[in-house]
Structure 1
Amino acid sequence: MVFIYEFCKKKSMENNRLKILLSFFLPLLVLPSVKIFAQSTIKGTVYEAPKTPLVGANVYWLGTQQGTVTNQEGKFEIKTSKESKKLVVSFVGFKNDTIDIATNFTNLHELEIVLQSNTELEAVEVVGERKASYTDYIETKAVKVMTEKELFKAACCNLSESFETNPSVDVNFADAVSGTKQIEMLGLAGTYTQITTEVMPSVRGLGAYFGLSYIPGTWIHSIQVAKGVGSVVNGYESIAGQINVELKKPEFDEKQQERMFFNAYIDGGGRMEANLNLSKTFNRRWGTALLLHGSTRPFRSDMNMDHFLDFPLTNQINFINRWAYRNANTGIEAQFGIKYVKDSKLGGEFDYKQNGQTSRIEPIDHSLHTPEEHAERINENFQKIPIWGLEINTQRSEGWGKIGWVNKKKPYQSVGLQLSMTDYRQDAYFGFTTYKGNQQTGYANLIYQSIIGNTNHLVKMGTSLLYDNYDERFNALQFARKEVVAGTFFEYTYTHSEKFNMVAGLRADYHNLFGIFVTPRFHARYAPTETTVFRFAAGRGQRTANIFAENMSIFASSRVMRIQTDNINSKAYGLNPEVAWNFGINLHQDFILASKEGSISIDFYRTNFENQVVVDLDKSAREINFYNLDGKSYSNSFQTEINYELAKHFDIRLAYRWYDVKTTYHGELLQRPLVAQHRAFVNLAYMTRSKWTFDYTLQWWGRKRLPNTSMNPEKYRLADYSPTFFLMNAQITKSFAWSANQKKFDVYVGLENILNFRQEMPIIAHEAPFSRYFDSAIVWGPIFGRMVYAGLRWRIK
């Protein structure tokens, strides 16, 4: 009937008489068709070229909730719809096909639909400007992606310095002598944030204190920052958030391939470094990349005149060699590689020399002496060791591999295996305190992905094994333990159009020291409009505290370490695992103001600890106490962030953050020390047509509660709170490009801490480092003043 209608319609254009007949007979032709169409059931088969049935393809009426999926033979059956006459067929990895049933009415029971693979379509190059930092609209979790462009806004020598322009992550010096920077999220120490490299465990265990400095900034392709709990697929340890680092890798796409990248850097603190990234693709299947890093700080400086080095003398060599394989015919992809880093630090008093007398003095066992006895022992040895120094030597070796297979006939179906082995060795001493730590880690994670019915219902399941062998020696005490954790997980993802999706995950693990525990996690996303997204996250996290390696700043003090437990040799130092629940909500709103794009993000997160290993600096200025939580411990975090394009190539980022972080210390609920309750942030970025780039960051830090030092003599006492202060950084970059041979050359110069603000007396009793009052761990602000740096980048594609 439709055919007759189309024929008459065509002829009517040629003959006016047919128009009259058409108008008379049209109702008689169409009405029966409509009646039959309303009562019909449409059947068909969905194929991929060359006519292979597709299982689980979505078939639905456009603009409605009525739909079905194809069976094991690629067949489907669907009732006709009164609301729509267009049938849509979709499948992951293929181009959608829309059939107008009104024009294909004769084949309602024998439809054959062949979907075309996206890989077979002609390439379309979309030219546009991606923001240096952005949040994925579709992603269920609120993940902030920091691109290479964002990292280039500051010096970014290593991962610990990569968050200067990110208001969600706080960066602070851990102490006043080692030069180490630590991060915080949601007001909690960086150890509560799961840090992975390409979704595999990275900075953890004994390497948590210095591990961020072992990932050079020039190796980083992008960073994904997410607050709150993460996916159960990646383990159970995340509590405050996750930071995933994507390193530079071989690119099989010639347009994306970067054959060579070279970076050189020098700053006013005497730090010099060079980085060289080389990449080579041999053919369509094999490629390799070699990432090299070398840095040194050979010069001594004492800007605050406290007779201690502002930064330790350092030497580091670091490299990665990685290989990539892919076979488009079989769907197999693999990556594997090795990494090695050797790092040495020498610091302390200005005149301290390497291999000083400190290493030849019998160490004092802090835990076996009272503060008074400890002071006497120090006085006895004072004449033998006139100069206080520290030396830290670290070696880390790692090998890893990932292999995955994607079913070519069912692209939604895949299997992946992640493997890694790490050996970490550290030998350090701080004055009289000696510490040696060795850790061997093995990790395996098997992941299977498929669908239930159709691609709206995605599942991931698998099993994992984590093995840690710890051997630590703190002065005369030795701690050794093995942790073996075997787990299984299941994660379900539901997608309902682009407006709503959710991820529900559950994993169960058996720990050889702590038994069985279950980790549930849930994420949801709702987008009522194309510019508004609500996100919610909730879940549980658990981790084992490594009290010595994670609090190494205390080694650079005269505090006596005390572990309050009934059996120090059981479990992990006799302490229970840390367990917390995290809940969070996020609102992201895009907007256009004065024809310019912008966005605003507001979030609130709450972390409740069921148990926590409390690090108590308040009970006594002479001690540091470790014990299991007895009372409340929580963190409330509120943040709002605005990003706006003031003019073409001129962006502004504004942020404000509020923390309420409290823990029960020796029976009293107190604000966590050294955490700023308020922080404000401004970042400006502007690029001219002539490739000049200007970046400026201003931060305001609110006051921080300081640990109790009231029992010290008056000259060694600190105030209850630190003052508020501003930090101001700026950088100018000039880019030179030669498009003919695809070379790009950047020169940059920057200034950190422009206002030259420094913390007064960062080292308590610096003139008497072997006295009972010496303490370099209470650092609340910058310890180095204004510093200039410069560098260059050269890349060849």
Structure 2
Amino acid sequence: MKKLKSLLYSNKILKKSLYIFLIVFCLIKSSEKIYSQNDSIQRLNEVVITGTKTTKQRTNSQVIVNTINHTTLNNIQACNLSEGLKFQPGVRIETDCQTCNYTQLRINGLQGGYSQILINGRPIFSPLMSLYGMEQIPTNMIDRIEVIKGAGSSLYGSSSIAGTVNVIMKKPLKNNFEFNYHSGLINNQTHDNLISANTTKISRTKKAGISILIHNRRRGLYDHNNDSFSEIPSLNNFAFGINAFLKPRKNQRLEISLNKINEYRFGGEISEQDPHLKKQAEERTHSNWITSLDYEVNFNDHLSLFTYLGAQNTERNHFTGIFPDLEDEVENYLDNPPYGNSNINTLNTGLQINRKINNFIIGPNTLSLGIEHLYDNVFDEIKAYNYKIDQETQNTAAFLQSDWTLSKKLSLLSGIRLDQHNLIEKYILSPRYSLLYKFEKSQIRLSYGEGFRAPQAFDTDLHIAFAGGGVSRVNLASELKPETSESISGSINYDLSSDRYIYGFTIDVFVTQIKNTFLLHPIGADEFGEIFEKQNGDNAKVQGITCEFRFNYNQKVQFESGFTIQSSQFQNPVTYINGISPTTNFMRTPENYGFAILSIYPAKKIFLNFNYIYTGKMQVPHLSGAENQMEDEILTTSTFHEINSKLNYTLKITNKDFKIDLFAGVKNILNSYQNDFDVGKYRDSNFIYGPSQPRTIFIGLTAKYN
């Protein structure tokens, strides 16, 4: 309780936001009974699972769960998971390498290593897969995405300090077939083609079903500044997936998922040579397996059991190198080119029991007790650079959760998780508390939680970048301690509906305090380039407010948006580049950002979509070495306004169950894109910011049979 009070009273944004809460609350109460409730609004009654690890109606969840379903992914023409996550409040997707374009998920401004990505609720999205996996998972694999932020995610263990993203794969529901074709042209220069198909078959008894999907994407190299080095890498991505279920008995369900993703990715000098003969290049060949097995038994209305097994394997062959200028270095380079290999294995297994007690002192309570084990083995090596990560982590955890309905209006979600991590001497205890109070058309939520990050290699630690005329690498300090965090958030959610329209808003205030923060300290250079060491620093605090607004008129016009204002500061100044004054600011973290989606249905067969992504100013480190960058600096970027559009026309082909959607559109209409890239082979590849691609025109079709 002392920690909670300290966190509250030291926070100016949180205290000021209480006044906003009071004003908004009074406005809500004065207008709450003017309109009637329309129970047909599906969005309000959506069922989610990530907030409590059990199925629950969204408005009854003590933790705010934001969702994006497959329909929305199609409307915004998202090709993969990365493009879909951009349209979530408090969430940013950023590209962090000019050569290979690996992406990073940021929730509430914190780096990717602070967020947990789940596949069907399982933490099998490995550190290496986090580099490229969000681009590798196609949207035709995804049924929906659920996102929880901050304090609500601590029951998911290590690395869920900022939040949790649960990617729920498509499951067989009804007989259908779908074919998709998409063709894009990036800035009148580079082609990007995608083809995919899904089919589902359900048995007559509805006791078994299977879904099969395939996906292929091919994209060429794109050079934005005409220096013969790419800013967007080429891709050849192939994915195949099978999802099936079986109901051996009425109260039992077995689910199996098997997905295979292969990807070839290349960035660097644009020439017809092997990678090690190019002036600068990054080549990646990935082979990913993702599989899960879930078994559910409902003994009665009050007792259920879940047991699960999830696994992921990634094999990667890769090259990262710069061709030497000096003749005496060329022979050694050609004899020992910097090719490498990686092998990642992740295994998660667990058991969860849910027991509902109808009369628990003063109301019903659902108790959940679970135990799980997570094994992760990371091997990555480039012998030419004397670079090697050979890391094995094992985490065994037990958790207990109480979902207690105290009255029709008040409910309390409390939980505690105990982790034993092989890289941490002591047990880690992580509590979580979430309170929900419901009015007729609104809800108020308060949450508090604690979390941790183990002293291990995360996504960005496995990325070797070009910088300072060589390659930069990250090592872990020998005495690295775990990070710990405290998070508190408060929100008010309001929705008002009639027979013709619905509108609503959410205001979410958050603050996260981190102790023993992981920092990358420049410790010098060797013959290959810069070396950074991950060390523990002082405390840091992230705080802010996210506002969401949504509106639907007569199912003809729909609008939704989210905007975040935040501050991300270290307690003491941090040195990012030797010779540059230290700063307390987080790098690559804008103080304001947001999104908006407008969908218009002017006629039965016509659909229009406009969407917008705003990225505010941020500070980005920039190392010298390129021919157009002679000094190290920390640059403050300009703002970016990315506007996208899509027009869809539906054709009904004789049979009413068969239809074809023809669509066309433009991504990044204003061509809001970085224009100060480094040039040449000695560029700082981490100096990249803003939208992931320039103006892109696309056309395509979708054929569906139900």
Normalised by the length of structure 1, the TM-score is 0.73
Whichever residue aligns with residue 660 of structure 2, its letter is: F
Matched, 1:785 2:705: no
User: After the TM superposition, which residues 100-115 of structure 1 pair with which residues of structure 2 at under 5 Å, given as runs?
Assistant: none
> Which residue of 546, 549, 554 maps to 1:639?
546
- Partners of 1:553 and 1:477 lie apart in 2 by 11
Give the drift of 1:490: 0.9
Deviation at 1:751, TM superposition (A): 0.6
Q: Kindly report which structure 2 residues correspond to 1:33-44, keeping only aligned pairs within 5 A, or say none.
A: none
CA–CA distance in structure 1, aligned partners of residues 642 and 432 of structure 2: 38
* Kept after mapping to 2: 8 A contact 1:618/1:708: no
- Aligned counterpart, 2:209: 287
Alignment of 1:338-487 (within 5 A): 338-351=258-271, 353=273, 355-356=274-275, 358=276, 385=277, 387-407=279-299, 410-432=300-322, 434-452=339-357, 454=359, 456-474=364-382, 475-487=385-397
Computing the radius of gyration from Cα coordinates, the structure with the larger value is: 1
Amino acid in structure 1 at the alignment position of 2:685: S
| Aligned amino acid, residue 280 of structure 1 | K
**1:250 aligned residue:** 172
Q: Deviations over 1:193-233 (max 9, x none)?
A: 21112211242322111111222112211111111144566
- Does the 8 A contact of 2:105 with 2:115 survive in 1? no
| Residue-by-residue CA offset, 1:156-181 (whole Å, 9 max, x unaligned) | 11100113433432122222222333
Q: 1:750/1:179 Cα in 2 relative to 1: closer, same or farther (>3 Å)? A: farther
2:465 partner SS? helix
2:154 and 2:161 in contact (8 A); partners too: no
1:702 corresponding residue in structure 2: 616
- In structure 1, the partner of 2:517 is 612
Q: Is the 8 A contact 2:96 2:689 kept in 1?
A: no
Alpha-carbon spacing, 1:658–1:232, altered in 2? closer, same or farther (3 Å)? closer
Shift of 1:301: 3.4
Counterpart Cα distance in 1 of 2:422 and 2:151: 24
Instruction: From the superposition, tell whether residues 710 and 477 of structure 1 become closer, same or farther in structure 2 (CA, over 3 Å).
Output: closer
Match of 1:627 among 525, 534, 537: 534
What is the alpha-carbon distance in structure 2 between the residues aligned to residue 566 and residue 786 of structure 1? 42
After superposition, what is the alpha-carbon deviation per residue over 1:740-768, rounded to whole angstroms, capped at 9, x for unaligned?
Answer: 54223212212111111221222x2x22x
Corresponding residue SS for 1:137:
helix
- 2:480 and 2:536 in contact (8 A); partners too: no
Pairs aligned (count): 623
1:297-322 CA-to-partner distances (Å, cap 9, x unmatched) read 2x443243132123222212111112
Partner of residue 587, structure 2: 673
Residues in 1 aligned to 2:45 and 2:296: alpha-carbon distance in whole angstroms? 29
Alpha-carbon spacing, 1:728–1:720, altered in 2? closer, same or farther (3 Å): same
Deviations along 1:541-596, one digit per CA (max 9) or x if unpaired, are 223465474245552334664667663xxxxxx53333322221111112359973
Gaps of 5+ in 1: 1-125, 252-256, 359-384, 568-573
Aligned to 1:175: 97
TM-superposed deviation, 1:603: 0.7
* Contact 1:206/1:546 (8 A) holds in 2: no
Q: Where do 1:116-127 residues align within 5 Å?
A: none
Please tell me whether the aligned partners of residues 141 and 241 of structure 2 are also in contact (alpha carbons under 8 angstroms): no
**Contact persistence 2:373–2:394 (CA under 8 A):** yes
Distance 1:562 1:306, change over 3 A: closer
Aligned to 2:142: 220
Greater shift in the superposed pair: 166-175 or 334-343: 166-175
Distance 1:351 1:708 in 2: 27
Q: What is the aligned counterpart of 1:689 among 577, 598, 603?
A: 603
* CA distance 1:577–1:393, change in 2 (3 Å): farther
Q: Structure 2 matches for 1:72-83, cutoff 5 A?
A: none
Higher relative contact order (CA 8 A, sep 6+): 2
Aligned residue identity for 1:606 = V
Aligned-residue offset at 1:186: 0.2
In structure 2, the gaps of 5 or more residues are: 1-37, 47-56, 323-337, 577-581
Cα separation, partners in 2 of 1:291 and 1:202, compared to 1, 3 Å: farther
Spell out the pairing of 1:729-748 with structure 2 (5 A cutoff): 729-737=644-652, 740-748=655-663
Q: Who is 1:120 aligned against?
A: none
CA offset at residue 437 of structure 1?
Answer: 2.1
Within a 5 Å distance, the mapping from 1:710-729 to structure 2 comes to: 715-717=629-631, 720-729=635-644
CA distance in 1, matches of 2:688, 2:701: 32
Residue deviations 1:609-652 (CA, integer Å, cap 9, x gap): 12232135799997452332321222113111111235651122
Q: Secondary structure, in 3 states, of the residue corresponding to 1:162?
A: helix
Q: Contact (CA 8 Å) 2:500, 2:554: kept in 1 or not?
A: no
Contact kept in structure 1, 2:608 and 2:646, CA below 8 Å: yes
CA shift in 2, pair 1:524/1:428, >3 Å: same
What does residue 115 of structure 2 align with? 193
Secondary structure of residue in 2 paired with 1:760: coil
Relative distance call for 1:790 and 1:519 in structure 2 (3 A) is farther
Q: Secondary structure at the match of 2:71?
A: helix
Structure 2 residue 192 is the aligned partner of structure 1 residue 271: yes
Q: Distance in 2 between matches of 1:548 and 1:512?
A: 16
SS at match of 1:506: strand
**TM-superposed deviation, 1:671:** 1.0
- Please give the alpha-carbon distance, in whole angstroms, between the structure 2 residues aligned to 1:247 and 1:687: 28
CA contact (8 A) 2:104 2:130 kept: no
Map 1:586-601 onto structure 2 (within 5 A).
586-591=491-496, 596-601=501-506
Q: Residue in 1 aligned with 2:42? A: 130
What is the CA-CA distance between 1:347 and the residue it aligns to?
1.7
From the superposition, tell whether residues 560 and 544 of structure 1 become closer, same or farther in structure 2 (CA, over 3 Å). farther
Match of 2:567?
660
The residue type equivalent to 2:318 in the other structure is A
Q: Distance in 2 between matches of 1:624 and 1:498?
A: 58
Moved more, 782-791 or 274-283: 782-791
2:52 corresponding residue in structure 1:
none
Structure 2 CA distance, aligned partners of 1:562 and 1:758?
A: 28
Whether contact under 8 Å (1:614, 1:628) holds in the other structure is yes
Aligned counterpart, 1:750: 665
1:723 partner amino acid: S
Distance across 1 between alignment mates of 2:249 and 2:654? 31
More divergent stretch after superposition (427-436 vs 698-707): 427-436
